[in-house]
């Protein structure tokens, strides 16, 4: 088993058992692509990852709240500026409502600029008498059910890198160039509240925020010039699944000599690859980025502690975020013992709630969907359980888009199964659309204040 003292190198995961690994048909091509990626600039800097750890340490201490959100899977067909902007816009709007309600800073982390790889339950997909590789996200193959599209193609690693670079470039411009100013984001929230039937329920919260904004102005705060009000810090994250890609973007920081995976600020490990003595944990234990670990209903407490000992032997506060994704019923019994055990073992963690992945169902049409009410119910239980244990419910992890999609059921606009056919564009899991996302944020705000 990997012990903290065992030698680590960016390549040491190659000696371990690996799950969810595409069967790359052309090893020479993959090696050539890895070489090309190694020659590219990093997407993020070590210092930024360190800043994020210090912000996450504040979350672990109950002094900040984490909002991590974005696509289930980013798509090579959708790199348009508008859709990146609209996703950012929704995340900023949610963050304002949550900041007001929680009374603490909200740390914004996107599932964006690199979230291209998908772990899958089945290795193959069968249609009629044809059996093909499963779709694993655009960094690996195409979603169309043809032999050509489903063949893993190493050149896609380069395409993912370039799309991540241009997405991140735009995000950096939007978040520092005035687009994210508090007064603007608040204005959008007022438009949601005034302009939609579901928004009207939240008039009270919006009025309270309006009063706070007016108060700041009256005190002489120049909202356009005050940098904390005119721009925001925004960080990127994705599941570290395709290890040749992650390895190639792993660089040694000249300041500290530590290794950082410079493909994103934060990386997480999925519910299907969080095995202690296997490749994904081995890779992540050596990089110094903040890490997320998905914690699903099958999580064994002893195993979780062993993973924490491996990934955070020095118990650095802010290094680990545990993202529980139990399902709205299972959370009632499964979460509390894990929270208690992690605390008893003295592991400092952020606890965040992913109310999406334990609540996926199939509509009669066969489409994957989620009920807004199940999502909300899991979030509500998450808050109640943490409160009852005197633990800080540190964050939310959401799959969403700023587009007007019809992928999840219910929410303010009350989408039903027939509506799923209208605009279902996700290449993987169903996402909350813009108004469902705001609906969620405002509802959470209400019970944060309760």
Question: Rule CB under 5 A: is residue 117 a binding residue for Co ion?
Answer: no
Could you give the 3-state DSSP secondary structure of residue 205?
Answer: helix
Is the CB of 296 or the CB of 355 nearer to ligand PEP? 296
Is the CB of 50 or the CB of 325 nearer to ligand PEP? 325
Strands 360-362 and 368-370: antiparallel
Question: Shortest distance, CB of residue 295 to ligand PEP, whole angstroms?
Answer: 8
Question: Shortest distance, CB of residue 63 to ligand PEP, whole angstroms?
Answer: 26
Contact 372, 439 (CB under 8 A): yes
Is the CB of 34 or the CB of 407 nearer to ligand PEP? 407
Residue 220 burial (C-beta neighbours within 10 Å; 0-12, 13-18, 19+) = exposed
User: Measured between alpha carbons, how far is 369 from 359 in angstroms, rounded to an integer?
Assistant: 8
Question: Shortest distance, CB of residue 69 to Co ion, whole angstroms?
Answer: 12
Could you give the 3-state DSSP secondary structure of residue 303?
Answer: helix
DSSP letter at 348 equals -
**x/- string (CB under 5 A) for Co ion, residues 11-30?**
--------------------
Is the CB of 358 or the CB of 394 nearer to Co ion? 358
Is the CB of 40 or the CB of 360 nearer to ligand PEP? 360
Cα–chain center distance at 148: 30
Token pair of 438 as six digits: 């705001």
User: Measured between alpha carbons, how far is 306 from 409 in angstroms, rounded to an integer?
Assistant: 38
Contact partner, 87, from ligand PEP, Co ion, none, Cβ < 5-8 Å per class: none
Is the CB of 57 or the CB of 72 nearer to Co ion? 72
Residue of 282, 354, 429, 439 interacting with Co ion (CB under 5 A): 429
Could you give the 3-state DSSP secondary structure of residue 245?
Answer: helix
Q: Which residue carries 């056919």 as its tokens? A: 421
Question: Shortest distance, CB of residue 196 to ligand PEP, whole angstroms?
Answer: 28
Is the CB of 72 or the CB of 284 nearer to Co ion? 72
Contact partner, 238, from Co ion, ligand PEP, none, Cβ < 5-8 Å per class: none
Question: Shortest distance, CB of residue 356 to ligand PEP, whole angstroms?
Answer: 7
- Of 56-64, 174-182, 385-393, 426-434, the segment contacting Co ion by CB under 5 A is 426-434
Question: Shortest distance, CB of residue 178 to Co ion, whole angstroms?
Answer: 32
Question: Rule CB under 5 A: is residue 72 a binding residue for Co ion?
Answer: yes
- Of 234-242, 313-321, 347-355, 429-437, the segment contacting Co ion by CB under 5 A is 429-437
Is the CB of 57 or the CB of 376 nearer to Co ion? 376
- CA distances from residue 416 to 253, 409, 437 in whole angstroms, order as listed: 50, 6, 17
Contact 111, 68 (CB under 8 A): yes
Is the CB of 213 or the CB of 242 nearer to ligand PEP? 242
Question: Shortest distance, CB of residue 418 to Co ion, whole angstroms?
Answer: 23
Report the length, in residues, of the chain.
450
Half-sphere exposure of 98 (CA within 13 A, CB side): 25
Strands 124-127 and 106-111: unpaired
- The residues near 303 (Cβ < 8 Å, ≥ 6 apart) are 276
Token pair of 111 as six digits: 């599932």
- Of 40-48, 214-222, 292-300, 423-431, the segment contacting Co ion by CB under 5 A is 423-431
User: In the complex, which residue's CB is closest to ligand PEP?
Assistant: 270
Question: By CB under 5 A, what part of segment 350-409 binds Co ion?
Answer: none
Question: Shortest distance, CB of residue 426 to Co ion, whole angstroms?
Answer: 9
Give contact residues for ligand PEP (rule: CB under 6 A): 72, 119, 270-272, 294, 296, 325, 357
Closest CA to 334 of 382, 290, 277: 382
Q: What share of the chain is helix, strand, coil (3-state, %, to 5)?
A: 45, 15, 40
Q: What angle do CA 357, 95, 434 make, to 5 degrees?
A: 60
Residue 422 burial (C-beta neighbours within 10 Å; 0-12, 13-18, 19+) = exposed
Question: Shortest distance, CB of residue 273 to ligand PEP, whole angstroms?
Answer: 8
Is the CB of 251 or the CB of 357 nearer to ligand PEP? 357
Contact partner, 371, from Co ion, ligand PEP, none, Cβ < 5-8 Å per class: none
Binding footprint of Co ion on the chain (CB under 5 A): 72, 429
């Amino acid at each position: 088993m990997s012990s903290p003292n065992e030698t680590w190198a960016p390549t040491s995961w190659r000696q371990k058992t690996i799950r969810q690994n595409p069967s790359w048909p052309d090893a020479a091509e993959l090696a050539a692509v890895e070489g090309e990626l190694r020659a590219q600039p990093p997407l993020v800097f070590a210092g930024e990852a360190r800043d994020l750890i210090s912000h996450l340490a504040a979350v672990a201490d109950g002094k900040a709240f984490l909002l991590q959100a974005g696509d289930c899977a980013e798509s090579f067909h959708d790199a348009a500026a508008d859709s990146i902007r609209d996703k950012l816009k929704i995340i900023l709007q949610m963050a304002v409502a949550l900041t007001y309600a929680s009374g603490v800073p909200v740390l914004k982390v996107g599932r964006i600029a690199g979230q291209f790889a998908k772990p899958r339950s089945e290795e193959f997909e069968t249609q009629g008498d044809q059996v093909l590789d499963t779709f694993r996200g655009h960094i690996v193959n195409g979603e169309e059910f043809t032999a050509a599209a489903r063949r893993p193609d190493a050149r896609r690693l380069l395409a993912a890198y370039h799309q991540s670079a241009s997405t991140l470039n735009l995000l950096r411009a939007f978040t520092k160039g005035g687009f994210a100013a508090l007064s603007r984001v608040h204005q959008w929230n007022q438009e949601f509240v005034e302009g939609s039937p579901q928004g009207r329920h939240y008039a009270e919260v919006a009025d309270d925020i309006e009063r706070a904004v007016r108060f700041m102005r009256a005190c002489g705060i120049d909202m356009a010039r005050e940098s904390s009000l005119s721009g925001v810090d925004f960080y990127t994250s994705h599941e570290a699944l395709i290890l040749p890609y992650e390895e190639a973007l792993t660089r040694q920081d000249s300041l500290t000599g530590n290794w950082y995976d410079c493909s994103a600020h934060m990386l997480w490990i999925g519910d299907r690859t969080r095995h202690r003595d296997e490749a994904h944990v081995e890779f992540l234990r050596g990089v110094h980025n903040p890490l997320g670990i998905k914690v699903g209903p099958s999580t064994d407490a002893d195993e979780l502690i062993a993973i924490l000992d491996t990934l955070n032997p020095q118990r650095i506060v802010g290094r680990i975020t545990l993202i529980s994704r139990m399902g709205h019923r299972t959370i009632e019994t499964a979460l509390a013992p894990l929270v208690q055990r992690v605390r008893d073992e003295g592991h400092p963690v952020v606890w965040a709630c992913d109310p999406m992945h334990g609540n996926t169902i199939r509509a009669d049409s066969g489409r994957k969907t989620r009920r807004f009410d199940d999502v909300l119910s899991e979030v509500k239980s998450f808050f109640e359980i943490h409160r009852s244990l005197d633990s800080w419910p540190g964050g939310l992890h959401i799959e969403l888009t700023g587009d007007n999609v019809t992928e999840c059921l219910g929410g303010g606009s009350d989408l039903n199964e027939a509506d799923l056919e209208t605009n279902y564009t996700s290449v993987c899991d169903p996402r909350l659309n813009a108004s469902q996302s705001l609906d969620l944020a405002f509802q959470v705000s209400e019970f944060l204040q309760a």
